[in-house]
Structure 1
């Protein structure tokens, strides 16, 4: 059986470890208890958080016990950002987000068996500590010169950083110390942008309790041009279906770049590495079929939203682009799919030309008429040849929806009055 560290390495998930040999020995002597934390600075987790949850799941499948921390206290402050000071959310807002995120994380780890997961909230211990004890017992272990040397802090010194954000590292390190004391936790995982916080917790355990702990960081996931992955044209790739529909989530992965899709399959799914390599070999022979992209989208939509939503997303994608029956789509799936593409509200007297412009598929009436006369415009997957044809001619889907398509891949919707 492949060692979990070797599997993480083969999947490109090892960016840093404090001491690889010592960590391997600890895992071999295990099972160990480890943790990963999430701050509720938004009402949902996103794709970057998903990578951490899947890493936690890989360690659990190897027999180790996960603690999933939801930061009810650190979420009130927020980790420093390169771009500037965070806006602080109210305690009531953060508390509500804690519960939403708690429900999300519970999808990805098992709460059964000898190594069942536990969800913890750091507000449980930070709310019990007074300021004097915190400064005496925790603050004394943090040399200011080392805190100033952290990349995010040094980059903010000129523009300004509050003491609140400056001291965030103390709170996250306290989390590791408390989990070490309460649960015997000896490993923290996180993204490489958290490396300073991770190692600070390891050092605090050594300085305060003389204990031995470890840190493991995954790399930042990037696009082919080196920019951070996780954003689409419409915004962040959220896990909450209220913020991003399962169809839009599915489409975000379908659009994965050829140069990166193999990496994403290894990092975000449980598909065996040799099977990913076989998929990429097939892709090299027939890139137009987008086999690895379809597998990636299927695996992740099923993982995050369930098999039924993955089926619906695939059906919608097939139908919207002319390879399936639009009438087979439930109205909720059709509406969610078109919402991501853009929807214009018109009535049945509007012409195809009007609709193409209103929906953003053509930037002028002349361009819209040209698209129609050249055979590149479709209404509910039926090609139209009269730019002055009204929408009323085509029976609306579910009584009020029209799907417009220009060419093979540009779609939008029209919502008619009920």
Structure 2
């Protein structure tokens, strides 16, 4: 059985067994899992290999690209500004970003950006891979284009575009990039090793992602043209995550780097009423805004029924959770964070072996079940 490092409180010792079994079976290669209850760390474990080519071990401070789990950091940054009264979710995007009113988007609200219902799930103009590293170009393209569907009438996952859209609203309000606001207002005060825009000095700590098997790309979730547009313009290639261009850019929808510990350190704010590490960052009312239902139905991009709150997924038929006041989101390949406000428990999982999933798979699910079972013991 694979050796698992770190610690787990006795009633959650099963989490270590679950992670060890997953790595031993080969479902995982290297991974980390962390959980907090009432703001206190009860599980912080890791194991396996960070680089399958070199055999380098997954260490305590290994970090990895968690793809769309990054969106929870973006949502939290927007929730923070709203909690301070600087951002109003019901306000029109064009109020903050006048150019956005073009092509019939004058009535689109910030809440619709947060809930993937703005009709801007992908770029209409052809976009090269390197274009996503050009913030001004990407945001200008989105500001100029017409929605693919009537905003507010249906959800459609804004896999890459949501980061630019919410991020530009944050930039217009604060004068700073979203990655900067997140770092200075949330990550650094909490001592969380999570980065939207990774310094080159940290490259040596990054685990190498193992792409999903053939047929397991993000574009294979559906044959719809919206899905194909999202996945191919530009193509989402996990191999790009090894480049300095990807790591150093600020892509608030997709290129956050961290591990389970740092994800949990930040997202504990959502589970614990706005407090983490003994510091109050948001009010309890501020974090509970994420629970406000925004839109539900068959996601036009992901081709599954989903319930969206304010920047997070909410429980529903396709994603049942034991407690109703729970928010979550995951990243391409399998990373996941779940914030259960009823038990004040936050759970995070980050790994390097990618599965063909965008909202979590059984590896994270088994770890979560071990936690919930431990809570009932």
Q: Which TM-score applies when normalising by structure 2? A: 0.28
Q: Which TM-score applies when normalising by structure 1? A: 0.26
Q: Which of the pair has more CA radius of gyration?
A: 1
Q: Which has the higher strand share?
A: 2
Instruction: Tell me: higher relative CO, structure 1 or 2? Use CA pairs within 8 A at least 6 residues apart.
Output: 2
